[in-house]
């Protein structure tokens, strides 16, 4: 992992854990605060599953999958072309997985709080780590499409 990739990963991990901790301090579980009426709330929940609460109360599955994913990502990182986008992609993906993994290991659940309603659909509540993972994976997909997955 390059210094740049490592630095970005550490910053995202710290940011996510800091914001989760602040939400944990200022909100009770299942408490919600309106930010933009009918669009965005801060709603604090404990997620013991994955996206859309799949495999609820099976944290061990997500712990194992997270560790395997991190190992694979680190392995593949050295096979991708070295550029800023790929460094950012790996940093975001790895740090997002690590932050949610830390929650699962130390708390037994993931702290989620970003609650959007888009065109009447109440999207599942998520966190900054989830955003990092999605953006990182999209950037990795773009690198593969552009042929930058080989040195």
Residue 97: CA atoms inside 13 Å, Cβ hemisphere, count?
20
Whether 130 is catalytic: yes
| Edge-to-edge order in the sheet of strand 40-47 | 32-36, 40-47, 110-118, 121-122
Which of 16, 103, 115, 130 is the catalytic position? Answer: 130
**CA dist., res. 112 & res. 145, Å (int):** 31
**CA dist., res. 96 & res. 134, Å (int):** 9
Question: SS3 for 144?
Answer: helix
Whether 24 is catalytic: no
Which of 112, 115, 122, 149 is the catalytic position? Answer: 112
Catalytically annotated residues = 112, 130
């Amino acid at each position: 992992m390059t210094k740049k990739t490592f630095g970005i990963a550490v910053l995202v991990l710290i940011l996510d854990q800091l914001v989760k901790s602040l939400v944990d301090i200022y909100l009770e579980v299942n408490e919600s605060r309106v930010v933009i009426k009918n669009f965005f709330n801060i709603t604090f929940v404990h997620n013991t599953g994955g996206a859309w609460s799949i495999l609820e109360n099976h944290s061990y599955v997500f712990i194992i999958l997270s560790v395997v994913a991190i190992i694979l990502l680190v392995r593949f990182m050295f096979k991708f072309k070295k550029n800023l986008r790929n460094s950012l992609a790996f940093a975001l993906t790895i740090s997002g997985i690590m932050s949610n993994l830390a929650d699962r290991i130390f708390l037994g659940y993931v702290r989620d709080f970003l609650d959007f309603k888009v065109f009447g659909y109440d999207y599942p509540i998520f966190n900054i780590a989830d955003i990092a993972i999605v953006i990182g994976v999209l950037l990795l997909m773009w690198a593969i499409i552009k042929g930058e997955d080989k040195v």
